[in-house]
Structure 1
């Protein structure tokens, strides 16, 4: 049975008690939890801190800022045979007198120039295709320079090699490759000419295979 308030008694005291309880509950909710730090109020004139931005990954290591060289000590890929001979004759690092050191290779339009070196270089080989240098190989002297020193020098200048194996380290920019091969050889290679030679070799091999099939089919 619900009791009705007595006539003449005011309900104001009960309402006041309810408001007091609600005020205390709201005040308690605003208090920090035990052990929780209370944030300091912002200084006058200070702006609200910006939201933390997500971490940005560091850029990957690149192959160095400098472009790959096209040659060594003035001998550059793309030079003619006469230009390479002129550079070698003027360089005290090579004993080159010309003439007999030039060899015709079995493949058409190819020549090989060999030069004896002094001090740091033992021998050098320069291969030409259609009268242009596309491969230069330097066999270094292990008594005056070591593999680690050459690798360190190339890495500091051109970054980490794109290809690394126990046999060789290769730096490439798509048009030129520089490789350090064991035991102690540095090679400069024109990749555009190399790809052209590969395609020519594949075409020649395909023609030879077809001719062989025609020959065998004639029996």
Structure 2
């Protein structure tokens, strides 16, 4: 197997421009449903709880800022990450597609602090059905924009691609540093957690899975 980059003049898109825009619309809708005032009130209570004065001039706008921040960080709440795969293409080649080193950041649901890292996403097309390379990065992005744990996020990305593309196989690898380990608790800054999720042929065929992992780790 080898990594393929589809040639633009060979691709035949399916799906209208309206369909392509739907995922962005869904994400915006989810963000608009957030109760910013309730979030801001919670921040005021936290400030009081740690002994601060929310009416102090330097903190007056902090609750509203934090509320807007959460709207930005968590806009994917309740949305299937696969919604970002809004168009597919027909390509005669069924070789491996791998997108490496996709940056992401998410929020750990245990302590509400970030975990930040990179994602590697690979799949084997089924009868030449592929999607745009940027769509794979968008799936990672949408999966990360909600309260998460890395283990679940890894599986959600793999399952979303399986549902939308019906490929022969998928493998997703995430590498991330968790601030809940870096700045509190054991305070081991720089520690990275690696998780993987394999589906279909890349779960069943150990040699194929090993080949993909070699591609991922070949810098």
Q: What TM-score do the two structures reach when normalised by structure 1?
A: 0.20
State the structure with bigger RCO (CA 8 A, min sep 6), 1 or 2: 2
Give the TM-score of the pair, scaled to structure 2: 0.20
Larger proportion of helix: 2
